[in-house]
Structures are given as structure tokens and as C-alpha cells.
Structure 1
Amino acid sequence: MIVVHHLNNSRSQRILWLLEELGLEYEIRKYQRDPKTMLAPLELRAVHPLGKSPVITDGDVTVAESGAIVEYLVGRHGDGRAEGPLAPAAGTPERLHYTYFLHYAEGSMMPPLLLKLVFDRVGSGPAPFFVRPIAKGIAAKVKDSFVMPQIRQHLAFLEGELGKRTWFAGSAFSAADIQMSFPLEAAAARGGLDGQYPNLVAFLERIHARPGYQRALERGGKYDFVK
């Protein structure tokens, strides 16, 4: 039995969705973030030394990192999916797009979104009254001069990509779309993804309408990036 070690409001929601799309049976072990620090609980270190989510166990196999988990599950179970495989055939242009976006999601798109989250907290977090204006000013300067221009550059790139294809890998839905869901939902929640990016908005509407996505939400619980 596949076990998903699921942290609330985290990347592990994608793994639940992938398992639903694959039609696999799985068990969820839920963990809650510390309400003050928003960090994962120490209990996750018993599963993987870094104590982060997502992590899955499949028998005596433990796999961490979203992209690695996606590749493991699709490679092992993807061909048996009733609607067709979740990865394009090897050697095709679609497979190249698939591989690129599978890694782009965390390697390129998430870092500026995480920086924005950090500087949002620096600017609004508790601090001595004489430090607060300085911290707020520095945070605003970094966001305006570096973080937000980076995010807008990524959004413009992705908007253009989905102007060429229905899905990130090609004409068919794939696991690359599942992997891309988290940064795009994060961007919609706090990174400026709005109506000026109609292709990205339409992508989010399409994935939110998928039955597998809805089933994953029912099993995984509240997910704050979803409005």
C-alpha cells in the first residue's frame, strides 16, 4: 500500500491528485504545520531525515521530493491508466516539454514565489517599533526591484507557452500539469496571477474541474491556495 505523508497546505496535495488520476489505492497520514512557525512537525523526520513533505512510502521504498515522487509513480503505474499514460512517449517533442516543466516547477518557478512569501512576512511580521519601518522598507524594495519582476517574467513565459499548447507537455493532460499546479496556485494566491494572464487562469479552471483533483481535495482536506 502506498502511504502519503501529507502535510496540510503543502506540495503533497499534488501527490494525492496524481494518485487519484492514476486510480491507485493509497493511505494518507496527516501532519499539521506549527501554527506559529508554519514549519512541519518533527514527526516527519521519522519518515525522512529532512522532515519535509511530500514523502511517500511504498512497501520498503521511501521517496521524497515532488518531482522524484511523480517520476516514480508515473514510471511504475502510469501505463495502466484508463485514460492513457500521464507521460508522453520517450523521444517526442512532448516528452521534452514534459521533462522540462516537471523540473521547472520547483527549480525555476517556486524560488521567487518563496522569496515573496519570506519578504511579505518580513514586512508585516512583529519587530521593535524602531526597526519595523526599516524592515518594511527593505522588504518592499527587494520585492519591487527583484522578486516581483522575476515572478512577472515567469508568468509571461508560461502564458505564452499555454498559448501554443492546451497543456504544458502538449495536447494531452500529463503529470507535468500536476507538478505545475502548485506554483501556479501559489502565484494566483499571492504572486499576481490574475485576469491579465487568461491562458493561466483557464489552466487553473481546467485542473480545478477535474474529478481527480476534486477527490484529492476531499481526501486531503482544506487547501488554502484554492480560492
Structure 2
Amino acid sequence: MLTVHHLQRSQSERIVWLCEELGIPYELKTYQRDAKTFLAPPELQQLHPTQAAPVIQDGTTTLAESGAIVEYILTKYGNGKLAIPHTADNYADYLYFLHFANGYFQPALVGYSTVLRSGISRDDPSARFARRNFEQALKILDGRLTKNTWLAGEDFTAADVMNVFTLTTARLFFPYSLAGYEGILGYLQRVSQREAYKTAMAKGDPGLVPLISAEKPRSISGLNKGLPTDTVTKTASGTVNQTTQNLNNTTEKVTDQTIPGEFPSDDAKYDKPPPDISFSSIWSAFKTWLFSFFPNILDRFENWIKGLIAWILPPPRQAKMYEAILKRPIASSFIICQLVCCGVPLLVFLAV
């Protein structure tokens, strides 16, 4: 029998859901995350070099990576269900969104979160680039789902199974809002009504309410608090075999406090204009840099300008010229160039 190793609150929920949609017999083994590291427990890590879920075992075959597992199960047990034949007009759409989740959407989400965790300013070009990729992924999905019932068209497929996790449970790790994405929100409502989805979530993640609303969820600070730490084995028929280990009955602790990498609650306040690269800002930065090396250069510059103006212009015009040079950077640059180009040769001529 096919065995599905599922780490609770992880993307391995896709495999449980897929098996329920196909109606195939399988054995489900669930694992709790470590309370401190949030990683898979040692007994799950030992199953595959990736040390992460999902993992399936089918006879002598052990396979990881949700995308690979989905294709394996569809090919071996699907009998054509939840897939689009290559002769269909929407085959390319199906194939694209089947790989969209792990190929673009999830990396964009994790990438943006990683940038925020690093402490880089949200105005930094790398942060803006990461955010742009993440928002673009949401726009692609929303645009598609505004015009179609499911990602491949009017038929529910494995492409939907692959993408829903990043729109729902993944938000426990990387909280973000879906406000304004009406296509996605309607889609999640349709997903939540599927019997196979409800059954899969009840078996794999009992007590977890699917995150199908627009609101940004609260951050998780203790994934397995309040959940038993045993390894629980369930068959598709509902039989439960439980290996007794230590139980952790502490209350689940969830906090509203911002954790490293959490998306801002009000992203609008981070939409600052790009850095000022006008002539005035460059001139100001240059003067600051110059004065840091030559502290007295400002006094010398002003005295030199005053002397040059007094020598060239009559008294009534000296004040205006002085203000124009020292208060207006563009005018000052132009005038200084004129003074240097005209005044210095004149001084040399008179001296000779």
C-alpha cells in the first residue's frame, strides 16, 4: 500500500488531498514539528536526504518533493483523473500551473520573506525586486481565477492541488493578506467546499481551520504546542494506529507580534518614493562628503566667493549674486563655472 508521510502544517498536505481526490487506498503517517526549530522530527528526516516532507513510500520506492510525488501518483494510480491529456487545448495551461506553485509562486513568497528576515530595508532594490515577484505571482493567479473556475480551466486538476497550500497554510509562516484578490478568494471558497479537501485537512491537520479569508493570519510561534507529539498512523478508511510517545498538552501559543520575515500589516506605508537622485541631492551629498575631509573649506569657499563677487560686481548686485550662488545649487554651479572661466583668466591678464 502507498504510504504518505505528512508533516503537519506543511506542503505535504497536497499529497493527502491528492489521494483523497483520487479515492485511492493509502496509509497516512503524520508527524509534529519540533517546538523550537519548527523542523521535521528525526524519524521523518531519516526517510530521505532532503530531511523534509512530503515523503511517500511505495513498495521499494521512496520519493520526496511534492511536485514529483504528485506526478508519480497521477501516473501510477490516477487513471487519467486530475490531469489534462496532451491533446487538449488547455494542456499547456494545466502544465504551467502544475509547476507554477513550486517553480515561481512559493519561491517568490519564501524569497521575499528571506529578504525581510535579513534586516534589509524594504526600500532596498533587492527587497523591492523580491516583493515585485511575490505580488506578480498573486496577480497571475488572480487574473487566471477571475476568468476561470479552476487553474486549468473548468476542470479541477492536480494544478489546483499544488497551488492551494501557498495560498492558505503557508500564510501561517509568511502572513500576508489577500484583500483585493477577488478571483483568488472566490477560488478558495470553491476549494473549501470540496469533500476531498475537507477530509484531507481533517485527517492530516485536525483542528487547523483552512485559511481561505482575505485577512492576514496571525503568526505562529509554536506549531506543535497543544498537539500530541506521537506519530499517528491512519488508513484511508479511518483506522488509527498510535505509537505512544511523550504528549505535549500545552496550549497553542499564537502571537500578533511581528516576527522576523513577517509581511508588514500595512504594506502601503512602505511604498515610499524612490531615492532622490536630483542634482540638488547629489550636490548636497557632494558638499557633505567634501566638508568631511576639509572642515574649513566652507568658510574659505564663502570668503573666496564674496571676494570674487566684490571685485567683479558693483555693491547693489553683490547681495543677490551671493544668495544665488550659495542657496541655489544649480545656479551656483553655473555661476561658479562662469566666474572660474572668466574671472581667473582676467586676473591672470591683469597680473601680467
Give TM-score scaled by structure 1 length: 0.83
SS at match of 2:107: helix
CA 1:87–1:180 in 2, change beyond 3 Å: closer, same or farther?
Answer: same
**1:2-54 deviations in Å (ceiling 9; x for gaps):** 11111111011111000000111111122222222212223223211121100
- Of structures 1 and 2, the one scoring higher in RCO (CA 8 A, sep 6+) is 1
Shift of residue 174, structure 1, vs aligned partner? 0.5
Paired with 2:45 and 2:171, the residues of 1 have a C-alpha distance of: 31
CA 1:161–1:49 in 2, change beyond 3 Å: closer, same or farther?
Answer: same
CA 1:174–1:98 in 2, change beyond 3 Å: closer, same or farther?
Answer: same
**1:110-153 deviations in Å (ceiling 9; x for gaps):** 1121134435555xxxxxxxxxxxx3xx2544585233222111
Paired with 2:134 and 2:208, the residues of 1 have a C-alpha distance of: 20
Paired with 1:225 and 1:105, the residues of 2 have a C-alpha distance of: 22
Q: Does 91-100 or 166-175 show the bigger shift? A: 91-100
Is 2:97 aligned against 1:113? no
SS at match of 2:28: strand
Paired with 1:151 and 1:52, the residues of 2 have a C-alpha distance of: 24
SS at match of 1:218: helix
The root-mean-square deviation of aligned C-alpha atoms, in Å, is 2.3
Paired with 1:42 and 1:225, the residues of 2 have a C-alpha distance of: 27
Paired with 1:211 and 1:139, the residues of 2 have a C-alpha distance of: 44
Within the candidate set 94, 97, 107, 2:93 is matched to 97
In structure 1, the residue matched to 2:253 is none
Within the candidate set 125, 144, 151, 1:168 is matched to 151
Unaligned runs of 5+ in 1: 123-134
Q: Does 185-194 or 31-40 show the bigger shift? A: 185-194
How many residues were matched structurally? Answer: 209
CA 1:97–1:171 in 2, change beyond 3 Å: closer, same or farther?
Answer: same
Is 2:88 aligned against 1:55? no
Q: Which has the higher helix share?
A: 1
Do 2:4 and 2:56's aligned partners in 1 also have CA atoms closer than 8 Å? yes
1:62-77 aligned within 5 A: 62-77=62-77
The runs of 4+ residues in structure 1 deviating greater than 6 Å are none
In structure 2, the residue matched to 1:130 is none
CA 1:224–1:150 in 2, change beyond 3 Å: closer, same or farther?
Answer: farther
Do 1:151 and 1:191's aligned partners in 2 also have CA atoms closer than 8 Å? no
Identity of aligned residues (%): 41
Q: Does 110-119 or 156-165 show the bigger shift? A: 110-119
Paired with 1:86 and 1:67, the residues of 2 have a C-alpha distance of: 14
Paired with 1:45 and 1:153, the residues of 2 have a C-alpha distance of: 34
Within the candidate set 168, 172, 175, 1:185 is matched to 168
**1:98 partner amino acid:** Y
Give TM-score scaled by structure 2 length: 0.55
**1:211 partner amino acid:** E
Q: Does 57-66 or 214-223 show the bigger shift? A: 214-223
**2:93 partner amino acid:** H
Paired with 1:175 and 1:195, the residues of 2 have a C-alpha distance of: 26
Q: Does 60-69 or 14-23 show the bigger shift? A: 60-69
Q: Does 216-225 or 35-44 show the bigger shift? A: 216-225
CA 1:195–1:119 in 2, change beyond 3 Å: closer, same or farther?
Answer: same
Do 2:115 and 2:127's aligned partners in 1 also have CA atoms closer than 8 Å? no
CA 1:216–1:102 in 2, change beyond 3 Å: closer, same or farther?
Answer: same
Paired with 2:154 and 2:97, the residues of 1 have a C-alpha distance of: 15
Do 1:6 and 1:29's aligned partners in 2 also have CA atoms closer than 8 Å? yes
Is the radius of gyration larger for structure 1 or structure 2? 2
**1:6 partner amino acid:** H
Within the candidate set 169, 194, 208, 2:192 is matched to 208
